[in-house]
């Protein structure tokens, strides 16, 4: 499974009753970065700093909101020109493809950052294992 396939499954899930309930239980406004893992762990380097920063802005952790302009050159129907997020839920959504199938875990951006750098800002390890992801986040049922 590729990340774009995970994106399709995740988008459908967000529109399902399970997804709607999960999102509404957490405030309704969300930002997500999706990653697909075919091995046992996700390298911290696979989430670039600009993506971490964008999620932290959306969450309201930097004091500056995330403002994003949707490209006018994008194909298809554009719902509006831009949006801003501040104080929204911000999650890294990781699809772990394992021998027993796909397990999708959502981790809050602040928990990802703490796991990656610790409380002293020093990189602690190189990757996040499936087992540790389960401890930090929650499994998204039905994705």
Instruction: Render pLDDT for 56-74 as a digit per residue (tens, 0 to 9).
Output: 999 999 999 999 998 888 6
55: in domain: no
Q: What domain range includes position 21?
A: 3-44+91-139
**Helices (H) and strands (E) in the chain — how many of each?**
5, 8
Residue 71's pLDDT is what?
A: 86
Predicted pLDDT of residue 11: 95
Residue 66 lies in a domain: no
The pair of structure tokens assigned to 117 is 């750098």
pLDDT tens for each residue of 11-35: 999 999 999 999 999 888 999 999 9
Q: How far apart are CA 59 and CA 32, in angstroms?
A: 11
Q: What is the mean pLDDT of the chain?
A: 92
Mean per-residue pLDDT for 85-102? 93
Question: How many structural domains are present in the chain?
Answer: 1
pLDDT of 106 higher than 90: yes
* pLDDT tens-digit map of 34-43: 999 987 899 9
Q: Is 60:31 a contact under the CB 8 Å cutoff?
A: no
Any idea what DSSP says for residue 85? E
pLDDT at 75 over 80: no
pLDDT for the residue 76: 79
Within-domain flag for 74:
no
């Amino acid at each position: 499974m590729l990340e774009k396939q995970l994106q399709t499954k995740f988008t459908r899930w967000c529109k399902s009753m399970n997804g709607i309930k999960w999102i509404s239980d957490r405030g309704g406004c969300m930002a997500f970065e999706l990653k697909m893992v075919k091995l046992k762990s996700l390298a911290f380097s696979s989430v670039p700093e600009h993506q971490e920063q964008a999620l932290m802005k959306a969450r309201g952790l930097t004091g500056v909101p995330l403002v994003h302009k949707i490209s006018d050159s994008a194909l298809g129907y554009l719902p509006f020109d831009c949006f801003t997020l501040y104080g929204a839920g911000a999650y890294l959504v990781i699809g772990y493809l394992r021998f027993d199938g796909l397990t999708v875990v959502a981790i809050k951006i602040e928990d990802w950052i703490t796991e990656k750098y610790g409380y002293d800002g020093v990189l602690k390890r190189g990757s996040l294992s499936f087992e540790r992801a389960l401890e930090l986040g929650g499994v998204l049922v039905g994705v």
